[in-house]
Structure 1
Amino acid sequence: MYKIFGIEFAPINIPLERRLQTIAAAFWLFSCVGFNFLFCGIGLFMLTTKYYWIIILYGFWYYYDLDCGENGGRSSKWCRNWTIWSYFRDYFPIKLVKLDECVVDPKRNYMFCYHPHGVLATGFFGSFATDVCGFPELFPGFKSHPLTLDSHFKTPFFRDYVLALGACTSSKKSINCILSKPEGGNIVALAVGGAEESFYCRPGEYKIILKKRKGFIRLALRNGAPLVPVFSFGETDIYSQVSNPDGSLLRWLQNQFKNLTGIAPIIPIGRGFFQYNVGLVPKRHPITVVVGKPIDVVRVDEPTTELVDEYHAKFTKALIELFETEKYKYADNPEKTKLIII
């Protein structure tokens, strides 16, 4: 490692495998924040060429398929198993762990409740939007439906990429559609804290938004879908971010943008391709996604506030127990690592 003006540069003789892993991590980052602009640009450019008819045909398909993300979606095993995702997984690396007490029945549907969101829900993507972390082997007979913003399903071409990864919208209609399927075998993966939780993402800290998040409990009760606590250790360690404390001008501007678009405009601090101090590429740090014991729920068409509160308390307790038990295996400094629920 070489250090110039306080910046640590990568050695020249880094193995090709690690170079490919860095490229894969950068590709994933660009796919999250840049593919929608890229695909829109390609579409607009094609309209000015002799291939304009392809865009016109796609327009008919877009209109016909517009609600796919709210109606169970469609996934492509080919897309979920791209070789680049294996390099992406190994960059951190990401590991999906299913506890022994996590017993699931392929004839039922489940809601996997993921914490923390982190800056870009990296472990969430690797575990539930791809198959390279072992989802098919750990949960045979199940389809994974990671939920994301509705806006991702409106952008031409980009929406088809998102759908191919198995994603669906995070709307009530979408969740009810998946969890109500009578044949079972469906897992809804939901980052409960959402984009807002990313504002609290700091290395070594686990602050999650849960106290006022109860809509997912109500949806689980309406469909009789067990709640499964999922915790991602290391999710908050791959990025720092520019200081944005509550009450600051930056946080106010970020909140305004999030309220307008649904996207949290975090200013992340990662690393670059050839140095380790600054950049947008995530830092290398192990991410372990642990799936805990399902919490069975009663099926109630119109759950009362008291019933929702009861199961919210059960879920909160189960999540805390999962964190406190597993942090000794996967947290960097377990004795000092605390879970703060806001």
Structure 2
Amino acid sequence: MEIFGIKFAPLNIPLKRRLETLAVAVTLCPILILAFAGYLLLIYFFFYSEILRYVILLYLFWIYYDNYLYNVGGKRAQLKQWLRTCALNRYYCRYFPIKLVKTTDLDPNKLYLFCNFPHGIFASGVHGAFGTDAAGYSELFPGIDITVVILDKHFRTPFMRDYCRISSVASSSPESVNQLLSTKPEAPYTGRATVLIVGGAAEAAECMPGTYRILIKRRKGFVRLALKNGVPIVPVCSFGETNLYDQLTFTEGSFMKKLQNFIHKIYGIPPIVFIGRGLFQYSFGILPRRKSVTVVVGSPMDLPKIEEPTEEQINEYHGKFVEHLVDFFEKEKHKYVENADTVHLEFV
């Protein structure tokens, strides 16, 4: 049904599909609100609420006390397992749907660095495939614990940091990633996979339907950490991730582009104008469109352990990984991408 150019959802949509849409909204909205309004909420509660002011003071003391833990991720094993298997995440993955595919078996006794491309707008595929068990991660990779790494800035934002801790994700700070790559997980796990989106939030600005533009040329810190710990790097591609949203783009040199770059430098996240769908209509909104996302895990590229790798060694293995990534993408794209012959990885 279409009214004034807006395409509304039919009234007779099955309850199952309604629940899937609701699950995506419940998952996405807290992240949007807390990531961008955490400081504003803190200031508002402190200056304009007499009762909550004292709670905020206690909260600030807690942040100061707890700050040294911000970059080590979460160790709430029971809560983490419950969150990974809850019904909310099952409905979330069915919405798109999100599928997880492995191309080779991994040694369950090793530590791995999963490098995922592309980020997309909200990295929906990474959350569904690795942040939950709804796509079958535990069955595909038994014995290998999984930790998703997100922007370090989130662990410094009031309220958002606590949401991240409850979700058992980890900070992207070098200290946090190094800890994950250097320590064995607790029983019953025998290995660990650390999921890093190399392009980070900045890559969201490159997200356009049908394209795979990734930031990797100047991103070499992950290679340094992998060499330092002798950890294999595994390429991962979220096919279809960039099709979930459209976004408005601004020409170089324009006021909006300069403003976008300025906020990106200050906050670490580029402000983008993305266009998805709403709860009850398909024309615009903050929810992703119902398009399939297939997260494919490639074969690991083994690296030697070098305590203090030189720039030459980092550049060497960075180049080898880029070649490994391109080969992996070209081999797998025909299974998941339309007009695959015209689609290639673009490095920016």
TM-score (norm 2): 0.89
Cα deviation per residue 1:23-42 (whole Å; 9 max; x = unaligned)? Answer: 11122221221135479849
Displacement of 1:54: 6.5
125 and 197 in structure 1: CA distance in 2 versus 1, 3 angstrom threshold: same
Aligned to 1:192: 198
Aligned to 2:14: 15
Aligned to 2:95: 91
Displacement of 1:105: 2.5
Partner of 1:90, secondary structure, is helix
CA RMSD between the two structures: 2.4
- The structure 1 residue matched to 2:233, chosen from 219, 227, 232, is 227
Displacement of 1:96: 1.2
Cα distance between partner residues in 1 of 2:68 and 2:336: 40
Is 255-264 or 292-301 further displaced after alignment?
255-264
Pairs within 5 Å for 1:35-46: 35=34, 37=37, 41=41, 44=45
Cα distance between partner residues in 1 of 2:25 and 2:324: 35
Cα distance between partner residues in 2 of 1:120 and 1:5: 29
Higher helix share: 2
Is 202-211 or 184-193 further displaced after alignment?
184-193
- The structure 2 residue matched to 1:275, chosen from 278, 281, 285, is 281
Paired positions, count: 338
Aligned to 2:216: 210
26 and 299 in structure 1: CA distance in 2 versus 1, 3 angstrom threshold: same
Cα distance between partner residues in 2 of 1:91 and 1:39: 32
Aligned to 1:133: 135
Displacement of 1:208: 0.8
Cα distance between partner residues in 1 of 2:183 and 2:229: 9
Partner of 1:66, secondary structure, is helix
Cα deviation per residue 1:50-97 (whole Å; 9 max; x = unaligned)? Answer: x88766665554444323232243242122333211111111111111
151 and 250 in structure 1: CA distance in 2 versus 1, 3 angstrom threshold: same
Q: 1:164 corresponds to which letter in structure 2?
A: I
Aligned to 1:124: 126
Cα distance between partner residues in 1 of 2:144 and 2:254: 44
Cα contact 2:147–2:194 (8 A) shared by 1: yes
Partner of 1:70, secondary structure, is coil
TM-score (norm 1): 0.90
Q: 1:86 corresponds to which letter in structure 2?
A: R
| Structure 2 spans left out of the alignment, 5+ residues | none
Displacement of 1:163: 1.9
Displacement of 1:335: 2.6
Partner of 1:96, secondary structure, is strand
Is 294-303 or 80-89 further displaced after alignment?
80-89
1:265 aligns with 2:271: yes
Q: 1:118 corresponds to which letter in structure 2?
A: G
1:110 aligns with 2:104: no
1:26 aligns with 2:25: yes
Pairs within 5 Å for 1:257-336: 257-336=263-342
